[in-house]
């Protein structure tokens, strides 16, 4: 559902992209809409997609301030504005990013009063899981209103970019209103470059796939149900961009847009950092009612209908890649964008009823092998998996999984990956000895 009264109109087709009032280019201008009345603010209020060559951007606030200053009332007739200096010429030097004092986060996090959002999480997951989520996502409480929650944007280098202050109903979890604590209007020298909410978790879980949703609430809830992923929030429907996605280099990423935003997010993929691979989930689009689509449901709206412990216990990484919740209909690598064929879509092996195999001898052999060699620091590519960025962590996590699920056919891919890695490393050693 919409977070703000004024938003840029979501992309549907070239029909809702207009002629820019500054540079005159057709199909390049995105207009702001008033979500309360579902109307455009004004024909000239919006942003030109030709950011470098044109740079035109008139926000609703700037528009209404200009009307107050001139004594005019809002008009919906088209007016040609004065030419705007391109962004490239407007700024001759790059301002450094502003990072907030970590003391702000510490004080917010340690406030003893439980805000409404934490109360809502506790009603869903219980006290212990609520505490875990608070620590995982660094959830704070607002100083002036202890009912409100602080969502901190902390980047991969543990630097604080922004604080999003939100009100929630403690019983329903519905948003009430949103404020950004630090804004350019209050702090003129504040140079905000936003990052993903939850971005600091990428370093904590380097081997996990990445799930990206729109809202902070959805990311937090999804992490409790599906903890095989690192869940990040883009902040809103237009929160995906090249700068943000640079931190996703080498990661497998699955996008979960709210209903009504599938095409918008799909269209954005070519403009994101192409050193990651992307999938776009079509599950909600294919399984929602017209009413749910109208109300902009997200994945959390469906997850909270299920018992999170039971849901989590039934999931495995293989099941996630199949169908229940996480089917991506489109893979993107570099500049190539093409739908998966039926042969390319992953299908888990059927469960086999009967005696379990005993992998213990093979596990011991693998464990002994990896303990007695020097694991490479550089990335290693497996045909069955993809690029391994941290070989040591990969081996450790895979050994733990096959020990815990010894003989279970569903988890045989973990065993197979370790064997494949072993063969690759042995071959590398042979090549090195020859040289």
DSSP states of 312-381 as a string?
HHT--HHHHHSSTTT-EEEEEETTEEEEPPTTTS--PPPP--SPPP--HHHHHHHHHHHHTS---SS-EE
**pLDDT given for residue 77 in this prediction:** 36
For residue 195, pLDDT over 80 is answered with yes
Where exactly are the structural domains of the chain? 6-90, 102-339, 360-434
Residue indicated by tokens 């011991």: 364
- Nearest Cα neighbor of 279 from 224, 342, 212, 220 is 212
Buried b (16+ CB within 10 A) or exposed e, 100-131: beeebbeebeeeeebbbbbbbbbebbeeebbe
Burial of 377 (0-12, 13-18, 19+ CB in 10 A): exposed
Q: Beta strands 336-339 and 328-333: pairing type?
A: antiparallel
On whether the CB atoms of residues 113 and 141 are closer than 8 A, the answer is yes
Residue 75: phi, psi to the nearest 5?
-125, 140
Mean pLDDT of the chain: 79
Q: What does the pLDDT look like over 333-378, one tens digit per residue?
A: 333 323 333 332 222 333 333 345 789 999 999 999 999 988 988 8
Q: Which residues pair with 243 in a beta bridge?
A: none
- Count of all residues that appear for the chain in the document: 435
Q: What is the pLDDT of residue 307?
A: 87
Q: Record the tokens describing residue 387, joined without a space.
A: 């690029």
Lowest mean per-residue pLDDT among 5-9, 160-164, 329-333: 329-333
Distance (Å, rounded) from C-alpha 237 to C-alpha 260?
10
Token pair belonging to 154: 């902390």
3-state secondary structure of 372: coil
pLDDT at 87: 40
Q: What is the pLDDT of residue 398?
A: 87
Q: What is the pLDDT of residues 338-349, one digit of tens each?
A: 333 333 222 233
Q: What percent of the chain has pLDDT over 70?
A: 77
Among 87-101, 157-171, 195-209, the least confident range: 87-101
Counting residues of the chain whose pLDDT is more than 90, the rounded percentage is 39
83 neighbors 53 (Cβ within 8 angstroms)? no
Contact 102, 160 (CB under 8 A): yes
Say which residues have a Cβ less than 8 Å from residue 155's Cβ, sequence separation at least 6. Answer: 161, 195, 199, 200, 247
Q: Quick one: pLDDT band at residue 81, thresholds 50, 70, 90?
A: very low
For 53-79, how does the pLDDT look when each residue is reduced to its tens digit (9 = 90+)?
A: 678 899 988 888 877 665 554 544 333
Average pLDDT over residues 102-123: 94
Between CA 287 and CA 284 the distance in angstroms is: 5
Whether 299 and 284 have beta carbons less than 8 Å apart is answered as yes
């Amino acid at each position: 559902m919409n977070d703000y009264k004024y938003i840029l109109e979501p992309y549907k087709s070239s029909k809702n992209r207009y002629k820019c009032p500054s540079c005159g280019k057709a199909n390049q201008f995105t207009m702001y809409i008033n979500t309360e009345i579902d109307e455009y603010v004004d024909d000239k209020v919006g942003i030109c997609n030709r950011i470098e060559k044109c740079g035109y951007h008139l926000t609703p606030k700037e528009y209404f301030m200009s009307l107050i200053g001139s004594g005019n009332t809002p008009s919906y007739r088209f007016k040609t504005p004065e030419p705007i200096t391109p962004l490239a010429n407007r700024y001759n030097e790059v301002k450094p990013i502003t990072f907030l004092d970590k003391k702000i986060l510490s004080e917010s996090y340690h406030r003893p009063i439980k805000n409404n959002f934490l109360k809502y999480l506790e009603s869903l997951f219980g006290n212990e899981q609520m505490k875990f989520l608070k620590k995982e996502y660094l959830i704070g409480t607002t100083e002036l209103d202890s009912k409100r929650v602080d969502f901190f944007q902390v980047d991969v280098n543990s630097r604080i970019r922004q604080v999003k202050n939100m009100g929630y109903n403690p019983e329903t979890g519905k948003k009430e209103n949103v404020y950004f604590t630090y804004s350019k209007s209050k702090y003129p020298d504040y140079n905000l470059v936003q990052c993903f909410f939850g971005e600091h978790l990428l370093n904590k879980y380097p081997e996990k796939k990445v799930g990206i949703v729109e809202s902070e609430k959805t990311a937090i809830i999804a992490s409790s149900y599906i903890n095989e992923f690192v869940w990040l929030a883009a902040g809103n429907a237009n929160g995906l961009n090249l700068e943000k996605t640079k931190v996703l280099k080498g990661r497998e990423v699955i996008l979960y847009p709210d209903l009504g935003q599938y095409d918008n997010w799909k269209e954005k993929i070519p403009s994101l950092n192409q050193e990651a691979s992307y999938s776009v989930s079509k599950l909600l689009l294919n399984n929602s009612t017209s009413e749910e689509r109208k109300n902009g449901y997200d994945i959390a709206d469906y997850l909270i209908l299920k018992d999170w412990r039971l849901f989590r216990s039934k999931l495995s990484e293989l099941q996630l890649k199949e169908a229940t919740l996480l089917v991506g209909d489109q893979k993107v690598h570099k500049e190539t964008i093409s739908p998966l064929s039926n042969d390319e879509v992953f299908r888990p092996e059927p469960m086999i009823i009967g005696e379990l195999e005993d992998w213990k001898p093979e596990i011991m052999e693998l464990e002994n092998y990896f303990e007695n060699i020097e694991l490479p620091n550089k990335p290693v590519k497996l045909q069955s998996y993809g690029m391994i960025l941290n070989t040591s962590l990969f081996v450790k996590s895979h050994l733990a999984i096959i020990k815990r699920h010894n003989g279970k056919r569903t988890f045989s891919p973990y065993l197979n990956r370790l064997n494949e890695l072993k063969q690759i490393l042995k071959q590398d050693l042979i090549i090195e000895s020859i040289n």
